[in-house]
A and B are shown apart, each in its own frame.
Chain A
Amino acid sequence: MMVRSTIEPKTLADHRWARFFTYGLTVALFAHSTSASESPDFERDIGPLLIRHCLECHNDNAETGGLSLSSHERLRQGGDNGLILLDKSLVDSPLLQRVLAGEMPPPKDDEPTSITPQEIDLLKRWVTAGANWPNERVLDPYEQTTDARAGRDWWSLQPIVRPDMPTQQGTDLSGNPIDAFIRRGLAKRDWKPAPPTDRRTLLRRVTYDLIGLPPTLDEYAAFEQDESPAAYEHVVDRLLASPHFGERWGRYWLDLVRYADTCGYERDQEKTNAWKYRDWVIQAINDDMPYDQFVLAQLAGDELPDRDESTVIATGFLRLGTWNDEPNDPQEYKFERLEDMVHATSTAFLGLTVKCARCHDHKFDPIPQTDYYRMASAFWAGHIEPRDRAHLGGPSADELGFNVFGWTDRGRDVPPLHLLKNGDAKHPGPVVEPGQLTAVSFLDTSISPPPEDAATTHRRLQLAHWITDTRNPLTARVLVNRLWQHHFGKGLVRTPNNFGFNGDEPTHPELLDWLANELMHSSGQETRDKSQEPFATSQQPIAISQKPWTLKRLHKLIAMSKTYQQSSNHPHHEQYTATDPGNHLWWRAERRRLDADAMRDSLLVASGQLDLTPGGPGFKPSIDPEALEGLSKKGAAWQASPTEEQRRRSIYTYLQRSLLPPLLTVFDQQDTTLPCGRRDVTTVAPQALALMNNAFVHEQSRVLATRIAEQVTSLDEQIQLAWQHVLSRDPSESEHIAALAHVQSQTTRFQQSAEETEAPSLMALTSLCHVLMNTNEFLYVD
């Protein structure tokens, strides 16, 4: 297993440099361990050296110069330029001389060759001692991690072992396991976590976090008055049981699976019934469906023994990608579709960039090109053959057995899939047998033929079983990291869709593994903290399933941790930031901007207009005519839904790929063509323009002002209500004074413009509400 750096870098920002230096140091230690007199050990010294510096270009698949250094036989065989070992004068062997001359390994990107003098010395002693090579030993370029790529010993590919809970002295281990791991990290530096955040902030944070909506005024009041130690836990339980929980967390999943309601391209046809998949996701999350079932249904819901309409709806996952009804070459287009499915599957469930291996062996991860095609075989049997446009590139409702937008195979037997040289359909290579990724070396990688009575190949089912095998090292790690990321703003692994070499490494590997293990093997402990519950409460605890692979108990564990509940302000902010600007030690909470969906929903909440009707076909928001000019069919192609329907939550927006709603896209709504594991958070002027001028925002301000004016007549009270509705609090005195001045001044101004139809005072109050909806306080969650 790859050993991680143990040297404490001066600052966390130096981490990568530190690894570089650690590497040099370790090599030096290696050299020391082999004293000059003894000949180097192949397994300890030479194999790793060859893999690190030579095998990338000289292996059995990539024989640069006709040379492979993967076996004794090939070593002896030499390359295009002849032998590389000269038995008569070993020291003159090209293998050694090319290295001594600095020609090999070749300098990369203008940087000098990476082999160290100690390594050269090892190589020299090995060659001159006869270049001994253990019998039958074949070096595999993927067997170990080098400075250029990950091997099968890469951290994320190792079995998940439940780590012991931290027990060091001086570490505050009270509370929840998450805090134990986080506080151990802080204690190592003598750091303290931020103090607990105040109750208002906590309620707002957890409510947005779990259901994507702000707390109501009543909820604030109830929480602030509830002095029971279990008050917060009750809030968490209530939110986890809310039907809006699935809407919030379902949105994250929809981003990941490139959800949209249309196909894209010229005709941009509607993916009929795609919304049933969206509703299925929301329901599954609300029902706390175990994640293994969640995966099985999406990849192979049509192949399950207990298949039903809902599991077939789930297979829509495979069909959500863009689809071009008029590809340049329909035969070649099949391979683009395979790539889409391989990419969505490996990204969403495994956090691996398998698609990079379509054209060549993966440059950074242990994924040979054949593995891409082994995985692609699972989808090769589907309806990717060119067929009538009306089928939208997939099976018909008849073939599915239900009137849904799902996926199934064409049959149980399909033609063989050839590896494509350079990924090019015009250059088929050898046939590749279906199989699982070899990167996970300790799991069976074979795929069996389908059972006698099967109507499909059962390849997707086997793929899904392999993914949900509790020994699979990626699935649970990737998933718990996603949960963590959405709760905390950043993941333990900061690259949620890439757990490979080019991804980030976990800030707390043991915590990641603890959570992953807990996901799969529920410890079954009631997460309710009984010790803090001395009083009987009138609220009934809401039961949360303790079954393996269920998620709500993990959400709760996270939300109940002190780490989650800490403030985003830390008394030592400047000091800690200087060392750990990225908050890798989780010493404070991250301040977060509302995402596009939560922002739009919150505007509707503020105006009192939000319609919480769940499910069903999406609504089409009104879009400014000037934005509709971007459609080749202009306005004719977009019929906005009735105004009442447009007040539904953003997750129910109809997502047309050729025209995503500008108000959402400007706030970094996900691109729908590729899996999105984390939305951007940009701050640009067009966002300010949108909130200042967009008709939807003005409408919400106007509605709110009208409501307020109907409720109370004194300006002081109106200002107070405006604050309460938009920011859920009363204005401070100075805010009140400024607001008063604003309304009065705007009233005078509007009185002077004769053409207005509304009362100037109402327009001025609208102006105030509008300003409040533009504030940072409205848009950011501490």
Chain B
Amino acid sequence: MIKYLVKRIVLAIVTIWAVATLTFFLMNAVLGGPFLSEKAISPQATAALEAKYGLDKPLIQQYFTYIGDALHGDFGDSLKQRGRTVSDIIGMKFPVSAKVGGISVLVALIIGSLLGCIAAINRGKVMDSIVSVVSTLGIAVPSFVLCTFLLFIFGVKLKWLPTMGLSTPAHYIMPVIALAFYPTAYIMRLMRSSMLDVLGQDYMRTAKAKGLSGKAQLFKHALRNAILPVVTYVGPMLAYTITGSFVVEKIFVIPGLGGEFIGAIQGRDYTLIMGTTIFLAVLIIVMNVIVDIVYKIIDPRINLK
């Protein structure tokens, strides 16, 4: 276990370094820069700004400076949002996205697994068909369509739910539905197929032959085996969801991290691009390690090496 963790940490460092390097050179290869704007800035002012942020130095030197600072935990100042460091921005916006995203993942996990199980048990019956239609819809409908639809029905026509911000629990309902819809649909499908697979296993026949009730067969013997593919999916999905969705945050006016990913690229806010990308990479790696450990807890056959 310790050997496994050490190995994973070493691998993680290499992965993050690769992500950082690739991002750094790719974003610099794109035309434009942070200090271009519609109002003409004098060449002297631009030069002064570039000198202040070290952008006048050769690219390779900038790269080593950045990596050196990052290793000390300094991810620099945002080039566009004056007076704020990248760490400040992430520290301020991530909790907002994480809260909405976390609730969404929880909702998706519970509803998705439940409906997936129900569909598997009622295979070929009406309930199975309903779940199958809902999950196809969930996978096929893009989030901006769903958001608009929700806004129109519940916000504009019925006036049941507030349409922007996150000030009360009611504000969370629409963004959570919008964020959870796709993962719910996906988990439903995963759960249904893996449950069907498990229900056909010999050990389920053994469980029945022991005289266990349907409930005990399902919850004790089937669920723990069937949940594994869902766990695999939920780990990385959680990382993506808690870092926010650009579309959902824009539509429901949520001050989350999702907008920063896109905003940083549009504004060539180099330090913020680097910061958000590395942050997401770290989250995904951490989630994958957690998935592996949860896997080991659920299924003792898995050997972490």
> Is the pairing of A and B real?
no
